[in-house]
Structure 1
Amino acid sequence: MSFSTWLAFFAASWAISFSPGPGAISALASGLKYGFRRGYWTTIGLICGIMCQVLVVGIGLGALLAASELGFSIVKWLGVAYLIYLGCKQFRTDASPVAVEAKSLETFKIRELIARGWLVNITNPKGTVFLLAVVPQFLNLSASLTPQYLIIGATLCFTDLVAMGFYTALASKVLKLLRNPRHVRWLNRAFGTLFILAGTVLATFSHHK
């Protein structure tokens, strides 16, 4: 991969990372609930999901998944179910987003936020199909593919770390401005609705699209 090709992919990665989707909603919801410092752990999980997606595409399983109606449907409906579950959970969350800040570190489960972010990305087959459609345009097929996939994965991880960090920080700033529990409750419901809508949109997605 030449430097000019990488620059083109780097520019495309920013658009990919900042585009609204389940990952952005998850980062916003975590920022609202936990603040930036702790909510950012969800982004680490999202990055792990991206790395898994790139690995799946890189070793050829992505093409197999996109070609298999059954495999694609299994992953898709797992993603739909998980997004709707997150939406319902967000809907029922308490109206005091700063409550976690008062808890001890022992009661704050980082692994749960990482797992949440990872599941959001790994159960979204749209990511695999998207990578299959976009990544080959930037590959030099006459050179070794492994280092190129490593560069692509690292680039996507970097831009997503920044983009999801922005969303988390944005929500955490909103959190600090909210003092009325009623407003917080409605914001939680708004994020819950967005999760459910994201799941609904994913349900309509086909690997033929």
Structure 2
Amino acid sequence: MTTSVWLAFLVAAVLISISPGAGAVNTMSSGLRYGVRNSLPAILGLQLGYGAQILLVGLGLGAIMASSAWALVVIKWLGVAYLVWLGWKKWHEKPVTSGDTENASEAASRRFWQSALVNLTNPKATVFLVALFPQFLHAGEAHGEQLAIMGLTLIVVDCVVMLGYALLASQLFRWMTTPEKQQLMNRVFGSLFVAAAVALASFRRA
């Protein structure tokens, strides 16, 4: 892969990551409640799910799934149900204090796997990657190496962008000085999870 092609792919990767979606909502929700450092498990969980999607596409399974209407429908509605459930949990989440780090540590594993499922149950990612990768693959070079470079680029860029989202959300905690304001923000993010579910439910493969 030439430098010019990689730079073009890098621009595409940045645009993909900064586009608001379920992953961004999940990261901002975690950043708001736990701060940047304790949001790392959630961010890494998203990357596990993203990496699994990239691996599936790289192995060719993603293309098979993208061509199977039944498989996409099943995955889509699993993702919709999961996002609605996350929204319901966030809506009813209890207010916390800025010193509530013990619960954050105890919940790190749970937030990691919860976030991984957010990306694993997103068929839009599979379809998008199936459409994206061929645009940057050079027929005369080893596909495995090119896919590895693109996959690593996507994950690194997404990590940086999600850290930015977590940092932005963590600053809102200074404004959340009362339980009432925290409850309001919980309900805002709960509604955003449900909105992401609605967006996923309306997804139709082109």
Report whether the alignment pairs 1:176 with 2:174: yes
Identify the residue that residue 40 of structure 1 maps to in structure 2: 40
The 1-side partners of 2:41 and 2:167 are apart by 12
Structure-to-structure mapping, 1:128-143, within 5 angstroms: 128-143=126-141
Contact 2:38 2:104 in 1 (8 A): no
TM-fit CA distance, 1:141? 2.1
C-alpha distance in 1, partners of 2:110/2:40? 12
Amino acid paired to 2:42: T
User: How far has the Cα of 1:97 moved from its partner?
Assistant: 5.1
What corresponds to 2:184 in structure 1?
186
Q: Deviations over 1:121-157 (max 9, x none)?
A: 0100000111111121111122111111110111011
Letter in 2 for 1:42: A
1:59 aligns to 2:54 (yes or no): no
* TM-aligned CA distance change 1:8 to 1:92, over 3 Å: same
* Residue of structure 1 in register with 2:27 after alignment: 27
TM-score, normalised to structure 1, is: 0.94
| Alignment partners' CA distance in 2, 1:183 and 1:37 | 23
CA distance in 2, matches of 1:46, 1:113: 10
2:141 maps to a residue whose letter is A
Q: Look up the match of 1:93.
A: 93
CA distance in 2, matches of 1:201, 1:103: 31
Q: Is contact 2:13–2:153 with CA below 8 Å preserved after alignment?
A: yes
SS at match of 2:101: helix
In the aligned structure 2, how far is the partner of 1:104 from the partner of 1:76?
30
TM superposition shift of 1:202:
0.6
Q: How many residue pairs end up in the alignment? A: 206
- State the distance in 2 between where 1:160 and 1:196 align: 22
- Tell me which residue corresponds to 1:114: 112
Amino acid at match of 1:192: G
User: 2:76, 2:122 within 8 Å by CA — same for their partners in 1?
Assistant: yes
Structure 2 CA distance for partners of 1:137 and 1:103, relative to 1, 3 Å: closer
Tell whether the 8 Å contact from 1:94 to 1:185 is kept in structure 2 after alignment. yes
Match of 2:164 in 1: 166
- Aligned partner of residue 50 in structure 1, secondary structure: helix
One-letter amino acid of the counterpart of residue 201, structure 2: A
User: How much has 1:177 moved relative to structure 2?
Assistant: 2.9
Q: 1: CA distance between counterparts of 2:61 and 2:26? A: 26
Distance 1:103 1:77, change over 3 A: closer
- Secondary structure in 1 matching 2:126: helix
RMSD: 1.4
What is the DSSP-based 3-state SS (H/G/I as helix, E as strand, rest coil) of the residue aligned with 1:98?
coil
